[in-house]
Structure formats: C-alpha cells, structure tokens
Amino acid sequence: MTIAVDPGQAPRRRVLLGWGAAGACALLTLRPLSAQTTSAPTTPEAAALRAAVLAWTGGVTPRQGRLEIDIAPLVENGNSVPVALSMPSPMTAEDHVTAIALFNERNPQREVAVFHFTPRSGLAQVATRIRLATSQTLTAVARTSEGAFWSRDVEVIVTLAACIES
Amino acid sequence: MRSAGTWSLALVCAAAAVAQTASPPRRTGFDDMTPALQAMQRDDTRNPAMLWVAEGERLWDAPAGAAGRSCAQCHGPAPASMRGVAARYPAFDELLARPLTLAQRIAQCRQRHQRAEPLPAEGEAALGLLAYVARQSRGLPIAPPDDARLKPWADRGQRLFAQRIGQLDLACAHCHDQRAGLRLGATPIPQGHPTGYPLYRLEWQGLGSLPRRIRNCMTGVRAEPYPADADEAVALELHLMTRAAGLGIDAPAVRP
Amino acid sequence: MARTLIHVPERARAGEVVELRVTIAHPMETGYRSDNEGRPVPRDILRRFSCRCDGELVFSAELFPAVAAYPYFAFHVRATRSASLSFTWEGDQGFAQTETRALVVA
C-alpha cells in the first residue's frame, strides 16, 4: 500500500512502504525529501520544538542532513516506539560525533533523550524505544567534535488502541 | 438417469457453496503487527517480555513455601520437562475434577507441593513463572488434549464466544470471527488466537495474561468482566485454545 | 535491584566494533499521569545511563519521561582487548544500579 501526499501541500512528501515489504528490513524508514526547520515554524508547538533545538545548540541553526532517523511512519501504539539514530563518522579522537539529541513536538515536554558518544563508541548509532503522545514531528540533532551541528526531522503518525483497559 | 452434465453442474454448485462457507486463512496477532513490532518480538535481546522469563527462570530454581521445595526439584530443568506443556493447556485436573488453565496449574502446584502462599495472578512472580513455562513451548503447535471431560467446558466457551454481552450488545464472534481483518478505528481487528500469552502489551506497558486481555475486551463492550478464575473465564480460554489448535505458540509475545 | 537483560557478544576480534544491548525493568513513571482518583502520579524515571570499558566512558545517555518503560538501548563499543564492561543506571528516588559483564577479545 503506498500513500503519497498531494504535492500541492507544503514542501514535504511522504511515502509509506507497504507491510508486504517487511522481509527486507526490521524497521520502515522515512526519508523526508526536504527540510522543515529552516522555514518559519507555523504552530506554537513547532516554535517550541525549534526553541528547544536552539537551546541545545547554543543558538546555532543545525544544517540538514547526514543524520538518519529510522522509525516506522505509522505506529500502532505510542507507548513504546522503536527508533534508531545514526550518523556516519570516522569516530576518531580528531573527528567524532559527541552527542545526538532527540526532541519532539507534541509530548508534554520537548526532550526525549540525549545520547553521548566517545571515539571508543566506534559508531555514532543508538537504538531505543520512546513514547509518542500523538502524531507529531521528531527532530534529531547531532554535534560533532569540530563543533558542527546536523539535524533531521521525521513525521510519525500514531494510532490509538481501540479497546482500552478501563 | 441424469446426464453427466447435470451431475457436473451439481458438483460445481456444491463445491462453490462449500468454498463460500469455508473459513478464511487463520492469522495470529503476530501476523497482524507492523514489521517494527515483529522485530521486537522475534529478538530475545529486544523483547521486554524476556525480563519476566528471566525472573521465572530464577524462581524455577528457588525453594519456596513451607515444603522448601523448588520447581526444579520435582520437574528438573524446564526446557525439557515443560516443553509442550503450554500447548496442551487448559487441561483437566483429576483432584479438582475440572479444567485448569496453565496459570491455575502453576498456582495449584505451589499450593499442593510447595505449600506456598498464593501469588497475585498479575504480579511479577506469577507472570514470570507463567512466561518461563510458556516460553518452553515456543514454536510448537497448540494441541488441546483429546479429553472427553473437557468437551462440556469447551462447548460452554464456544457459546460464550457467540453470546452478546455488554451495553454495546456485541459477542466476541462479531469482531473476531465476522469482522477480523477489518479495522476498529485505525486498529486491525485480530482473529483473537491466544498464541503468545503471557505477553508484553504496549498498551499495558507491561506483561499480562490472557484473562487480563479478555477483561479489557469485555470492558470495551461495556460488559462486566468475569471475575478472576470464574468458570466462564476458564471455559472461554479452553474454547480459544481449541479454536487456535495447530497454530504455533509464540510466547512470550509483544502486542500493540 | 531491577531486573536487567544485557547482551554482549560472546567474543570479539581486536579492533572490531560490536553492538551491546541492554534493557532494565523500570516503569519510567512520567509524572504526567493521574491515578484513578485523579491524583497526579509523581515522576519516577531513570535519568542517566552510562557504559564504561575498564572504567573508561564509552557511551552515555540522558533520559527524559519520553523514554519508554523498560528502557532499552543498543549501542556500540570498539573492542581492543579483553575488558570489563560496566553498565550504570541512575534516576529518581535515589535509584542507582551497576551491572558488569566481561568483553572477551580473542
């Protein structure tokens, strides 16, 4: 099943991979074709997300790219959502990723987690499971030992369970 | 005598009638999940339910109760002695002259042979033991015992499955037989085969049992859930396992 | 002591980058929920995780309530020689727990 967003909307496009393509990979990958953070935030939540990112970078606007977010575009339950973050890097003392921070748009607070790497990590990669209160944008930001900041946005749709406990 | 053509036509019509009433292929909750959650379940280093299995493994070897006896002292290593057990429960208990679910069987063992205090059914310890024992049947087909004494209970479970309940006046069968594969809200309706219990349900943010899941369903249709260990709950579990006969156990599972 | 699941490869070659996976049994109570009587349930989360190799920091994480219950991390370490890996979790209510595992490099 493939759903393409009407190209008349926004600079963003999304393609959902069908469940049948599952054999190849454990996680469905979303790659937005263009960035959102360089344009003006359109909602208070988006503005707060941008402010949280800038607070972490010390006011530096990150460049889009290099950093990858692996997360299913459609999630059955927001209580535990697998997500993987990775950034290619030689991970040497002279040139390595020092941290990757993950922020969200619509949870009660913006921060999700901050992951710190050392050259000893070998790879600037981490997988974890996070909570998503509702469908929203996630922004990951990476900082390198040279002081550069890279970021990536992804949109996730979160569906709610139909039969709840009480 | 009728012509060959008429007989052929009759056969074709009969075949078509049978095909229309034949059941759709069976799907488990695992089949209905997204690849990300399937990956979480499949990998023991990622499946949070394995925390409970580890606890169960520890409890298996721990002396308990006034008898100071561990499960291992009677049963030996669980991978050997418990293999296939979860696949053939609920089973008839001679002493109580009624079927017991696997969770009830473990509780009976604790009481009779370890002379230990009962554990809360949805607590860490009871679920740990249940998850550990169920894990030993992973991959094996569900195989309800061929025991005539179970039949009245299984029949009752089948009637309960088809009985309208609650303010929404729905039977299990309305969703899980007639509308399985369709969606309730955005959620695909499963056929409701209990292949993975006890399981880590994301909605619970924890591990839980089949009776707990059934209570959720009953609350969902605004019916009064069966009390724990009620005859109805046992009958329904027996029916569900009978209905799922042949499907592989994938306990302890992950479900949304 | 919370239950943990820790996966370290059985052995690694010198210089190989290997993946470690850890899970800890902690409910990560967000502080944003209310109980059935409407009273707020106070926050009780893990706030920090770190992994050290022979005492040297390899990887660490700052956790917020948006990290899911039973926190799970998969990360990497470059194996150089056989060493002791330590995994430490710290959080609210004075929570502190360290587990160690051997990393065999052959």
Distance to chain C for A149, nearest Cα, Å: 18
| Cis amide prior to B63 (ω within 30 degrees) | no
C contact test, residue of A115, A120, A125, A137 with most C CBs within 10 A: A120
Confidence category of residue A41, pLDDT binned at 50, 70, 90: confident
Q: Where are the alpha helices (DSSP H) in chain B?
A: 4-21, 29-32, 35-42, 50-60, 71-75, 78-81, 102-113, 124-135, 151-162, 172-176, 210-220, 231-243
Average pLDDT over residues A82-104: 98
Distance CA A63, CA A48 (A): 19
DSSP class per residue in C50-98: EEEETTEEEEEEEE-TTBPSS-EEEEEEE--S-EEEEEEEEETTTEEEE
Write down the mean pLDDT value for chain A. 82
- Give residue A126's domain range: 27-158
What is the chain A residue with the closest CA to C75? A126
Q: What total of structural domains would you count in chain A?
A: 1
Which CATH entry fits the domain spanning C4-29+47-103: 3.10.200.10, 2.60.40.10, 3.30.300.30, 3.40.50.300?
A: 2.60.40.10
* Cα four-point dihedral sign C2, C3, C5, C10: positive
What is the chain A residue with the closest CA to B46? A128
pLDDT per position as a tens digit, A43-57: 999 999 999 999 999
Tell me the CATH number at A72.
2.60.40.2470
Does A20 score more than 80 pLDDT?
A: no
Does A23 score more than 70 pLDDT?
A: no
Phi, psi dihedral angles at B56 (to 5 degrees): -65, -40
Q: Indicate the residue of C63, C64, C75 with minimum beta-carbon distance to A126.
A: C75
Is residue A111 assigned to a domain? yes
Residue A107 CA, chain-centre distance (Å), reads 14
Helices and strands, number each (H, E), in chain C: 0, 7
More confident residue, B52 or A27: B52
Taking the whole predicted model, whether its pTM rises above 0.90 is answered as no
Q: Radius of gyration over alpha carbons of chain C, in Å? A: 16
Q: From residue C16, give the alpha-carbon distance in Å to each of A92, A115, C60, C79, C103.
A: 14, 21, 20, 5, 12
- Check residue B2 and give its pLDDT: 53
**Chain B residues with CB-CB distance to A under 8 A?**
33-40, 48, 184-187, 202-205, 216-217, 219-220, 256
Is residue A6 assigned to a domain? no
Whether the CB-CB separation of B65 and B116 falls below 8 Å is answered with yes
The verdict on a CB contact (< 8 Å) between B51 and C5 is yes
- Check residue B107 and give its pLDDT: 97
Give the per-residue SS3 of B25-77: CCCCHHHHCCHHHHHHHHCCCCCCCHHHHHHHHHHHCCCECCCCECHHHHHCC
Confidence category of residue B186, pLDDT binned at 50, 70, 90: confident
Average pLDDT over residues A82-95: 97
pLDDT per position as a tens digit, C11-55: 999 999 999 999 999 999 999 999 888 999 999 999 999 999 999
Is residue A19 assigned to a domain? no
C67 contact residues in A (CB cutoff 8 A) = 112-113, 128-131
Calculate what percentage of chain B has a pLDDT beyond 90: 89
| Cis amide prior to A7 (ω within 30 degrees) | no
For the record, the structure tokens of B190 come out as: 């499963």
Distance CA B74, CA B97 (A): 23
**Which of the residues of B are catalytic?**
217
The verdict on a CB contact (< 8 Å) between B35 and A166 is no
What is the chain A residue with the closest CA to B32? A19
DSSP class per residue in A18-35: PGGGGGG-SS-----SS-
* Cα four-point dihedral sign C34, B41, C89, A156: negative
The domains located in chain B, with CATH, are: 27-46+141-255 (1.10.760.10), 50-135 (1.10.760.10)
Confidence category of residue A39, pLDDT binned at 50, 70, 90: low
The three-class DSSP label of residue B248 is: strand
pLDDT per position as a tens digit, C44-89: 999 999 999 999 999 999 999 999 999 999 999 999 999 999 999 9
Residue B148 CA, chain-centre distance (Å), reads 20
Q: Report the complex ipTM.
A: 0.97
For chain C, which residues make up each domain, given as ranges? 4-29+47-103
